[in-house]
Structure 1
Amino acid sequence: MSHIPLLSAEQLHERMNAGQDVWILDVRNTEEHADWKIEGQTVRSINIPYFDFLEDDDANFKDLPTDEEMVVVCAKGGSAMFVAETLEEKGFKSSVLDGGMLAWSQFYHAATVFADDKVELLQINRFSKGCLSYAAISEGKAMIVDASRKVDYYLELAERHGFTIEHVVDSHLHADHISGGPALAALTGAAYYISSGEVQGTDLKFEPLEHHERIRFGRAEVEVLAVPTPGHTPGSTSFLINDKLLMSGDTIFVGGLGRPDLGGKAEEWAQDLYDTVFHKVSKLSDDVLVLPAHYADITEIGDNGIVGASLGDIRQSNDMMRNADKDDFVEHVAGAASSEKPPNFEEIVAINRGELQVEPERAVELEIGPNRCAVHHH
């Protein structure tokens, strides 16, 4: 038995969250590492592929820290253990991320964004994907927004915080990850809401969001903001809680706007996005806190561990929010969106529309990789 310490995804996150320096030695191949890796404000990531260590070449070890522990990471954990044992023989200190990137891809962490006497809002961060979901809780009742696939996490969260899930909503039809919304609603008996424009012509059981201007539970009143707020998708919807908190889906990000090209109608949807930004969101006050469904860069996570910013700050820092010239806006957004699309997005969309069922192993496989739902203005 190896005595190399195993580190769970949760323990790794605790180190990162505590502001500790973390050395990651990623032994996947160079393309995989370039595409998708563990990132954090205090993380230093070195990539030396596993096969290089089979060569027993001293050059592999020259850039490695001699006085700090490295967390060795591979796809599922096996190759990392071999490398960690090799490192130990050479006098280096290391541990292994238990389950590798597969385990990291399924790690979720909840943090409180806001709490007053009416409502508490938790943001659930799935770090590997930059996916964010939310639990809005009031008087023991809750609404879950943009649930990810691992529905057990939300059930455990409900138990831990003592709430019942009454409403489950998706802000739009997700293209980069499998929604846990329908499954979570079925398990809890909650209503599942999505805009009917997103799932027309399917057998999916849902409540059309456009028929529910307000969703009430406990002492929270969730106002569905001027359905739809199209752009990223035609049925994209934002949720405004008590005039303070805007869960913006993939419409507005801390550092960009939702890409409008995943339906193959980039220009048309970019015009919708312009109307949303300048005719709907423009009516909201600067102090509304914007909480998106994704982030594209680790720097968007604030010092408090939350991804979010006031609408005023976003208006200040995001050129596209101020570019009121419609032709210019449409050209820029449609042009910027022609970058690489989310991997497997057509299959994921078919699953989220209820048209395709896959085995759990295939679902995990489909989701591995980064999200690519934002358009950034550089």
Structure 2
Amino acid sequence: MTVKEMTVQTLTEKVLNKEHLVIFDVRNESDFHDWKIEGENFEYINVPYFELIDGVDSVIGRLPKDKDVVVVCAKGGSAAFVAEQLVEAGFDNIYTLVGGMKAWSEHLHKAKVYEDDKMKVYQFIRVGKGCLSYMVISGNEALVVDPSRFIDVYEQVAQEEGVAITHIVDSHLHADHISGGKALAERTGATYYLMKSEGAVFDFEPLEKHDRIDFEQVQLEVLAVKTPGHTPGSVSFFVNNQLLFSGDTIFVGGLGRPDLGGKAAEWAADLYDTVYEKVAAIADDVIVLPAHYANLDEEMSKAGYIGDTLGNIRARNDMMQDKKKQEFIDIVVQNANTETPPNFEDIVAINRGLKAVDMEQQQELEIGPNRCAMHHTR
């Protein structure tokens, strides 16, 4: 009997459908506890691979035979070795995750967010990483928001939709993943926009020069200089007075972290002004679409995308409700010692154009969860 394989696409559907599944993770305990495949109805067993090299007898009693079991490791090889032994031991419900956690980290799931007679909007959910990117389609053109480095995905969707990617925007200089903005612009000839204050050293179109970007039947407002808080040049994009691409400023379950630059109090004051002045003027029924999420089960809408109305987000988040400025700053500073995104200094240097790494190094740098938010501040 051969070992069955499960792709990241199939596993994503199981996560979204809230199916029951057993994840048998054979990575080291520290890696497992730091970052694992999250599913609302998933069960977990973690036994490091080195404990299973000489046989799987020690875990046979812990594994069910009436539920599907997916064996997971970093890249797939160790899991396949363990799975083969389990099949030989009589299990017929064993799968390996093709490509392991590396593949899980890199998969983008496309979901439709919005459609009317002027535009169509897709969200790309990087399920294993908690990162979100978007494509806004109108007429024969498309704009991409916060693209990941997997630019083939956006090009494929543009081709399927019969449109050209003409505009690319990054809401800020990302700290937990490598942006695909520059590479996608080079491939497509699109204009790439970024805040000059973020310190990138390559050629781009500074958002400081644009209060808005218009194409076809879309009007994208760049919320003026701008919506700082997570980084000093962090911006939000308000599209057709209906959608707010909030970057890492506002999340479904929290606010962006202003402590990554070592200026927690100063940038928290900026974040306060953003929340209580600029965002306060936006209507409750506007749909907020962030650049990250923390918990898929809690933050996914019934429509199948990550986002919510601004009114619902305000109602849940007491940091957005009648806080005095100093009180707000004090809370942020008190929470400023949480873990930083793994390798964030290297990733920021790459996104600024100050450092170049090969594909394998990019994969290694991005491994792990995102930690860009003060999540669930209620």
Instruction: Sort the TM-score into its range (normalised by shorter chain).
Output: over 0.9
1:178 CA displacement: 0.3
AA partner of residue 192 (structure 1)? Y
| 4+ residue runs over 4 A deviation | none
1:245 to 243, 246, 253: 243
1:363 aligns with: 362
Within 5 A, what are the aligned runs for 1:1-378?
3-56=2-55, 58-92=57-91, 93-199=93-199, 202-298=200-296, 299-376=298-375, 377=377
Counterpart contact for 1:27–1:80, Cα < 8 Å: yes
* Alpha-carbon distance between aligned partners in 2 of 1:189 and 1:366, rounded to the nearest angstrom: 28
* Alpha-carbon distance between aligned partners in 1 of 2:309 and 2:368, rounded to the nearest angstrom: 29
Which range is displaced more, 290-299 or 268-277? 290-299
Which range is displaced more, 275-284 or 77-86? 77-86
* Alpha-carbon distance between aligned partners in 2 of 1:56 and 1:359, rounded to the nearest angstrom: 37
Which range is displaced more, 292-301 or 162-171? 292-301
1:273 CA displacement: 0.2
Counterpart contact for 1:246–1:289, Cα < 8 Å: yes
Partner secondary structure for residue 78 of structure 2: helix
Partner secondary structure for residue 75 of structure 1: coil
1:5 CA displacement: 1.3
AA partner of residue 196 (structure 1)? K
* Alpha-carbon distance between aligned partners in 2 of 1:28 and 1:323, rounded to the nearest angstrom: 45
1:44 CA displacement: 2.4
Q: Percent of pairs identical after alignment?
A: 54
1:55 CA displacement: 4.8
* Alpha-carbon distance between aligned partners in 1 of 2:293 and 2:339, rounded to the nearest angstrom: 16
CA offset digits 1:24-72 (Å, max 9, x no partner): 1111111111111111233323212212223546442333212112111
- CA 1:82 to 1:57, structure 2 compared with 1: closer, same or farther past 3 Å? closer
Counterpart contact for 2:2–2:87, Cα < 8 Å: no
Partner secondary structure for residue 106 of structure 2: coil
Partner secondary structure for residue 204 of structure 1: coil
Which range is displaced more, 271-280 or 59-68? 59-68
Partner secondary structure for residue 193 of structure 1: strand
Given the two structures, how large is their TM-score scaled by the length of structure 2? Answer: 0.96
Partner secondary structure for residue 187 of structure 1: helix
AA partner of residue 142 (structure 1)? A
* Alpha-carbon distance between aligned partners in 2 of 1:67 and 1:8, rounded to the nearest angstrom: 21
AA partner of residue 16 (structure 1)? V
Counterpart contact for 2:56–2:85, Cα < 8 Å: no
1:323 CA displacement: 4.1
Partner secondary structure for residue 105 of structure 1: helix
Counterpart contact for 2:220–2:240, Cα < 8 Å: yes
* Alpha-carbon distance between aligned partners in 1 of 2:311 and 2:339, rounded to the nearest angstrom: 30
Question: What is the root-mean-square deviation of aligned Cα atoms in Å?
Answer: 1.4
Given the two structures, how large is their TM-score scaled by the length of structure 1? Answer: 0.96
* Alpha-carbon distance between aligned partners in 1 of 2:60 and 2:300, rounded to the nearest angstrom: 32
AA partner of residue 148 (structure 1)? S
Counterpart contact for 2:56–2:82, Cα < 8 Å: no
Which range is displaced more, 35-44 or 126-135? 35-44
AA partner of residue 155 (structure 2)? L
AA partner of residue 343 (structure 2)? N
* Alpha-carbon distance between aligned partners in 1 of 2:161 and 2:13, rounded to the nearest angstrom: 20
CA offset digits 1:96-127 (Å, max 9, x no partner): 11111111111001110010000111110001
* Equivalent pairs, count: 375
- CA 1:160 to 1:247, structure 2 compared with 1: closer, same or farther past 3 Å? same
1:243 CA displacement: 0.5
CA offset digits 1:182-212 (Å, max 9, x no partner): 110111000000111112xx43111111211
Counterpart contact for 2:15–2:38, Cα < 8 Å: no
Structure 1: state its 5+ residue gaps.
none
AA partner of residue 136 (structure 2)? A
* Alpha-carbon distance between aligned partners in 1 of 2:154 and 2:255, rounded to the nearest angstrom: 27
